Structure 1
């Protein structure tokens, strides 16, 4: 029986570590604190994009000990400007001390991925019709309630909308097509 309990304890410990969550990491902050840090990361990068883009909140999701915050850009990013857009964000993240972890060089649906020193995972991906999607996944945190973001969106989204529409805001720069 003692051996069975020890094996069970080792299996549980391995499972927790494989999820990226140890008790020591989990005790540093709660999920609401982690969500607020994600908001700060997203706010900073979106403020750093010039010319500015307009965005709305994507949905927030929570897991056993992590939170995912999302922002959806409503400014259309033309195929000709996608590389520039990703380059602006890449440089901002590097300047912020983040480690770039992967790049998807797809011409149609490019994406970049980064990680902060404190374990937040960031992504920027371009979807259909040039819509940009930002996402931040938190490290493991203590279970807690997670409130909606208090960061004010810069684009209008009908409160009755079931889905976020395709980008519908034109930018003379970001939406410009080549001749």
Structure 2
């Protein structure tokens, strides 16, 4: 057995360990801002869910709320709009899938799967054209729903694509009515 194996740690050994520890702490301190910036922005977290008062929306009118940076249209449809949406058969639709985040992914695009449950006059929908992300104009087009003037996509009164280059129906975000006058989106 040599003398070095049983010797006490030297000052040099202490300096190596201390330098390594300071270097490790410095590396973590330097890396933390880069790691932390990958977390969601506070504004994003704040908009994870929003409550919207719908008491002032008259029949045939709509409002647009901003949720996660997207326009969400909340519309109280007229009886004629509801009937027109119900009368459309799945064979007439370009996209037969409901695209409703509240339902299974393969739910058919019938009006009941696009409107609010037990409140068929209410439509809560992300108002973004599924072709190139434009904002369609409401209550226009051949079906009196939405029309995207950029490329000519036409949506019906349930936000389902009927003609034009858009491949899918406009999305229904996760939402629920928390009272008769308040809808929570997100």
TM-score, shorter chain, exceeding 0.5? no
Q: Which protein has greater RCO, CA pairs closer than 8 Å, 6+ apart?
A: 1
Structure of higher CA gyration radius: 2
Q: Give the TM-score of the pair, scaled to structure 2.
A: 0.29
Q: TM-score, normalised by structure 1?
A: 0.30
